[in-house]
Structure 1
Amino acid sequence: MGGVAGAAPGTDGRSMVIVAFDQVQLLDVSGPLEVFTTANRYGASYDVRVVSPTGLDVHTSSGLRIGTTSRLAQLPQHVHTLLVPGRRDWQRATADRELMSLVSGLAGRARRVTSVCAGAFLLAEAGILDGRRATTHWELAPQLATAYPRVRVEPDPVFVRDGRVATSAGVTAGIDLALALVEEDHGADLAREVARQLVVFMARPGGQSQFSVRMTAQQSRHPLVRRAMDEITADPSLPRGTDALSAGLGISARHLARLFRQETGMTPGQYIDAVRVEAAQALLSSDTASVEEVAQQAGFGSSETMRRAFQHAFGVSPTVYRARFRTTAPPSASPVASLPR
C-alpha cells in the first residue's frame, strides 16, 4: 500500500512513519498526519505511512478504528522520521513486546525519532531517551521520571528537542511538533500555510509552557482566590495591586498573599505579571499594534517594563519575540542541537 496523500513510494520524498496500535490516542495519530499531508498540498514531499505491529487495523482509545497503510516489509530501508504516539495506559503499551520490537527497529532506521504525549514512554522503554531531555503530558511527567530515571524529564515545554529525538506534550502538542518539523524541512512560509489551512496557531514555540496561567484560576479551590484571579484575567490592563485586590475582597493584603501562595505557589503580584506577559504574547501577534501599544494594552504601562518582564520570562525582548512569533522555533537560542535536516 502507498503513503497517505504523500509522495509516491520510491521517490525522493521524506518518509514519515507513524506507528499505530490498539488504544492509541486518535489525535496523537491524526493531528500530525493532517499536518504532513496538508504540507504536501503546498509543495512538501512527505511519504506518510501508518504501520501497526500486526499490519492490521487498530482500535483507538475513542473506539474509532483506523487502518494502516503499509506493512513493515513495505517500508523503505531508511526512514526519515518516525513518530510514536501514545496511550494513557502506557504500561500496557510498553509491555507489548511486538509493539516495542517495531518501535525499536524503526528507531534504529530513522533519521529523526519523535513522540507525542505518552509515546515518550515507548521511546524511554526502548532506551532511546536515556540521557536525553524529554517531555510528555504534564500529568504523566512524574510517572515518566520515576519509571525511567535516566531520562531528563521536563514537564513544562510543549515539545523538547535533543539531538535527533523530539518529544511533545499532550495530544494537540503533536500538531505543534509536526509544524516545527515541517518548518525545519521546508521553511517557515510553508509551515505557516499549513497552520493557516488547519486553522491552528503557528507560533507555539517548543519552549512555551504547556500551561496557560489563566487556567490556574480554574484549579484554585478557594473562592476568594478564584475571584481575584477572575478580576485580573478579565482585564490585565487595569492598574491593580495586592492592596486593591484584597480591599475589594474584604480581606487583608497579607491574608490574600497567603491564600495565593497556598493555592497557586505564586504571590498576587507574580500572578498579575504572568497574566500580563501572556496577554502581551497574544497581542504581539498583531502586525498593527506597536510594542508600546502592546505594553499599554497588556497593563505594563511602558515598553521598558514589558521588556524587563520578557527578558525575565523568555530571555529575549518583545521585539525579538515578535520576530520569532510566526515560526515554531523557541524564542531564545536553545543549547540543544536542532534536529538534522
Structure 2
Amino acid sequence: MLFESTGIADLLQWANRFLTDSGGDIAYQVTIATTQSHHVVHGYSGLKLLANTRLIDLDPTIKRHTIMVTGRGGIEQERSIIADWLSLAAPNAIRTASICGGALLLAQAGLLEHRKATTHWRLINLLAEQYPNVSVERGPMFVQDGPVWTSAGVTAGFDLTLAMIEQDCGYHLARDVAQEMVMFLRCPGGQAQFSRYRLPETPELGPIRDLQIWIQEHLNHDLSIERLADRVSMSPRNFARVFSKQTGITPAKYIEEIRLNAARDKLEQSMDRLERIAQDTGLGNSLNLRRVFERHLQVTPKAYRERFAIRQPSAENLS
C-alpha cells in the first residue's frame, strides 16, 4: 500500500514546512528505499512509486536517526534480506519503527526480543506464535518500547508518526501538522484496533459444533455453563474441558465474543436503541453493553455506531 510510505513522508514534510515558515531549519530528510532491483515500487492499487534508492545500496553501518519499515514483504527471500539489513542497521539508529506487518520483520531481525509490540490485528496471533519472547499488545494503535516503535494497520502508522513528531519537535508542531491533515493528534478514548474476533469453530462434527450453531441463534437465552452442558448431556466440568479442547477457547470467552460481534453488527446495520440491542444479544442492559465495548474495544457503543453505522440516506436522496 503506497500511502503507507507517501502518507508518512507527507506528514514529515508538513512538519518541515511549519518549521521553515517560522524561521527554523527542517527536521526531517526522507529517503524511501525499495527491496526491488529497480527503483519502481508497484502498489496494490496499480499505481507506481519511484523510490529514492534501493535497500542494497544503503550502507547499514551509517548512523541514522529513524528507520521505518512499511509492510511485511512479499516473499520469504525478501523478508530475510530486510531482516538481515535491519539487524545491522538498527544498532546505528536512534529508533526503529514498523508499520502494519513490518513488526514481523523487526521480530525476525531480533529487535523485538523481550519488548512490547503490536501489528495489524490479522497478524497478531502469528506474531505471538512465531516469536514467543515478544510481549504482544493486542489493543493499541501503536506501541513504543524504548527505541523501538510498532504500529497496527496502515493508518495507525500516521498516528505513530505524529507521536514521533511530537517527541522530536514538541506538542505544538505535532498539533499543527495533525490539524493541517484533519487528523486527531491522539486517537480519542485510547482507541483500539477495531478487529473482528474470528470465533473458532470445532473442526469435528458432533455435539459441540451443533451447540455452537444453536448458541448463535439463541444469544438472548441463558447461556450459562450449566445450561449449555445440559444441552449436550455432559457435566459442567467435562463440558468446559471438551469445549476448550475442541475450539481452543473457553465457553465463557466464546459467549462474550459472539455476543459482542452480534452487538457490533446491530450497531452498524440498525438504528435500534442500545437497550434493545443489549437485550437481543444477551448482554442484558445498556450499561453491561457499554462495559463490554469499553473492555474489548476501548470505545462506547454510541461512539462505535457513529464511526461504523451504515450511512443513512439524506432527505434529499429520498425525495
SS in structure 2 opposite 1:231? Answer: coil
Map residues 188-207 of structure 1 onto 2, 5 A cutoff.
188-204=171-187, 207=190
State the TM-score, normalizing by the size of structure 2: 0.61
Tell me the amino acid that sits aligned with residue 162 of structure 2.
L
Tell me the amino acid that sits aligned with residue 65 of structure 2.
H
Tell me the amino acid that sits aligned with residue 181 of structure 1.
M
Q: Does 1:79 align with 2:73?
A: no
Q: Cα gap change, 1:211/1:105 in structure 2, threshold over 3 Å: closer, same or farther? A: same
Of structures 1 and 2, the larger Rg is shown by 2
Which residue does 1:304 correspond to in 2? none
Contact 1:85 1:116 survives alignment (8 Å): yes
Q: Deviations over 1:156-209 (max 9, x none)?
A: 101001010010010000000000000000111101111111111222179531
Q: Cα gap change, 1:186/1:152 in structure 2, threshold over 3 Å: closer, same or farther? A: same
Q: Cα gap change, 1:106/1:93 in structure 2, threshold over 3 Å: closer, same or farther? A: farther
Q: Does 1:163 align with 2:146?
A: yes
SS in structure 2 opposite 1:189? Answer: helix
Which residue does 2:129 correspond to in 1? 146
Which residue does 1:324 correspond to in 2? none
Tell me the amino acid that sits aligned with residue 272 of structure 2.
E
Which residue does 2:272 correspond to in 1? 231
SS in structure 2 opposite 1:46? Answer: coil
Q: Which runs of 5+ in 2 are unaligned?
A: 20-25, 197-256, 304-319
Shift of 1:64: 2.1
Which residue does 1:125 correspond to in 2? 108
**Aligned equivalents of 1:159 and 1:68: distance in 2?**
26
Map residues 198-277 of structure 1 onto 2, 5 A cutoff.
198-204=181-187, 207-211=190-194, 220-221=261-262, 230-232=271-273, 241=275, 245=276, 256=280, 259-260=281-282, 268-273=286-291
Q: Cα gap change, 1:165/1:145 in structure 2, threshold over 3 Å: closer, same or farther? A: same
Higher relative contact order (CA 8 A, sep 6+): 1
**Aligned equivalents of 2:77 and 2:113: distance in 1?**
15
Tell me the amino acid that sits aligned with residue 40 of structure 1.
N
Which residue does 1:175 correspond to in 2? 158
The RMSD of aligned alpha carbons is 3.8
Shift of 1:55: 5.9
Contact 2:39 2:52 survives alignment (8 Å): no
Q: Deviations over 1:126-180 (max 9, x none)?
A: 1101111100111211111112111111111010010100100100000000000
Shift of 1:229: 7.2
SS in structure 2 opposite 1:113? Answer: strand
Q: Cα gap change, 1:232/1:124 in structure 2, threshold over 3 Å: closer, same or farther? A: farther
Map residues 266-305 of structure 1 onto 2, 5 A cutoff.
268-273=286-291, 278=299
The structure richer in helix per residue is 2
State the TM-score, normalizing by the size of structure 1: 0.58
Q: Deviations over 1:85-122 (max 9, x none)?
A: 114xx572575333333333322321100000001011
Q: Deviations over 1:24-48 (max 9, x none)?
A: x222212211111111101141011
Which residue does 1:46 correspond to in 2? 28
Tell me the amino acid that sits aligned with residue 185 of structure 2.
M
Contact 2:79 2:105 survives alignment (8 Å): no
Contact 2:61 2:88 survives alignment (8 Å): no
Q: Which runs of 5+ in 1 are unaligned?
A: 1-24, 234-240, 283-341
Shift of 1:260: 3.7
Q: Cα gap change, 1:223/1:49 in structure 2, threshold over 3 Å: closer, same or farther? A: closer
**Aligned equivalents of 2:77 and 2:131: distance in 1?**
12
Tell me the amino acid that sits aligned with residue 270 of structure 1.
N
Contact 1:28 1:117 survives alignment (8 Å): no
Tell me the amino acid that sits aligned with residue 176 of structure 1.
D
Which residue does 2:205 correspond to in 1? none
Q: Does 1:31 align with 2:7?
A: yes
**Aligned equivalents of 1:227 and 1:67: distance in 2?**
39
Count how many residue pairs are aligned between Structure 1 and Structure 2: 231
